[in-house]
Amino acid sequence: MPSAASWLDALPTDFYDQLAHSLNLHGMAATELLSRPETPVLARLRRQSGLDTSTVQRLNAIGSHAQLLATLRQEPLPLYHVLLLGRLMLETTLAEPVLAYVQRSMSISGEQLQQLLAYCLELSGAFLQQLEEHLPAPTGSASLGLHRLQVEEGFAELLTQLPAAAVPAAHLRLAEPQLQMLRLALLLVHSLPPDADHPFLRAVHALPNLRATALEPLIEHLGRVRVQEPLTLTMPELVQLYQGMQVCGMVFVSDVMSRIGLEDAFPVLSEEETTATETAPVSNRQAVGEMVSGFTHWVQHTFPEAPEIQQARQEILALADTLG
């Protein structure tokens, strides 16, 4: 087996430049894993890898070929484990928060993100194999390859303990007005005061799907989506949008909007102005109403037998009764 010095010296001088994006992405994914709530399985993965978040962050600060070589000489196994755990994460949905952050920070499309991910995984796969050919096994393991299998088994056990992923219910591609309207509806519902004396507002906050903590993941989800990019929704998310859009419509056509101070933010034509001008432009209220009606009709037409939608519809009808 070649000495450590010989195989490291044989690395191309631009090796860090090739690996930089992959190392950074794997480091973020490993940090995401190690930041999860502690469980016995995760504790075992920490022991097997010898990693914690501070170690990963330190290794992720490698910024040059010289620093990479120094790390490979002085602490190669921690770097190996960053790549291994990061790779395991990136091959699952657990890495979605990391990938969403990368997409936003780099201002790239979903397709470009997938290309970057594939490139980074290809590099890490080749580099992990190279490291397994040259690095000694951790104490207690016959080989680094067998140790890797133990880590992978532990990670697979971790996945089995996670809640099952929700099945996608709808796949959409939204134009800008549609996407902005969905975002507006959720943000509006999220901002409704919970302690108001209006019966409608109290009833909204009594709906589990529309509580602030329940809405925040979907608000973040929609915030990552770009115009005409594929948007996958689970049935719980579809129910939230179905109810959120209708609550938004009710707010716009009732006195609730003025009570919570939205009249100035969304001015509408007065009755006198509407009467005086036959060709008056469509008001914001009318525009919102049309989009709410269109989305509501689409959901009910597409999922006529879905019990979740039927229940959500009954809850909205009861909510409308509070407006008198």
* Domain parsing of the chain, residue ranges: 4-160, 168-321
Most confident of 72-81, 108-117, 212-221, 279-288: 72-81
Per-residue pLDDT at 201:
86
What pTM was computed for the model? 0.58
Of 82-86, 236-240, 263-267, the one with minimum mean pLDDT is: 263-267
Confidence (pLDDT) at 165: 62
Return the pLDDT at 277: 37
Q: What pLDDT, in 10s, does the model give residues 306-322?
A: 999 999 999 999 988 88
| Residue 274 predicted with pLDDT over 80 | no
pLDDT bucket at 1, cuts 50 / 70 / 90: very low
For the chain, percent of residues with pLDDT exceeding 90: 49
pLDDT for position 78: 96
Instruction: Report the C-alpha gap between 19 and 60 in whole angstroms.
Output: 12
Angstrom distance (rounded) from CA 113 to CA 120: 11
Q: How far is Cα 163 from Cα 273, in angstroms, rounded to an integer?
A: 55
Mean per-residue pLDDT, 153-158: 95
Which pLDDT score is estimated for 279? 42
Q: What is the pLDDT of residues 6-28, one digit of tens each?
A: 788 888 999 999 999 999 999 99
Contact criterion met (CB below 8 Å) for 109 and 226: yes
Q: What is the mean pLDDT of the chain?
A: 86
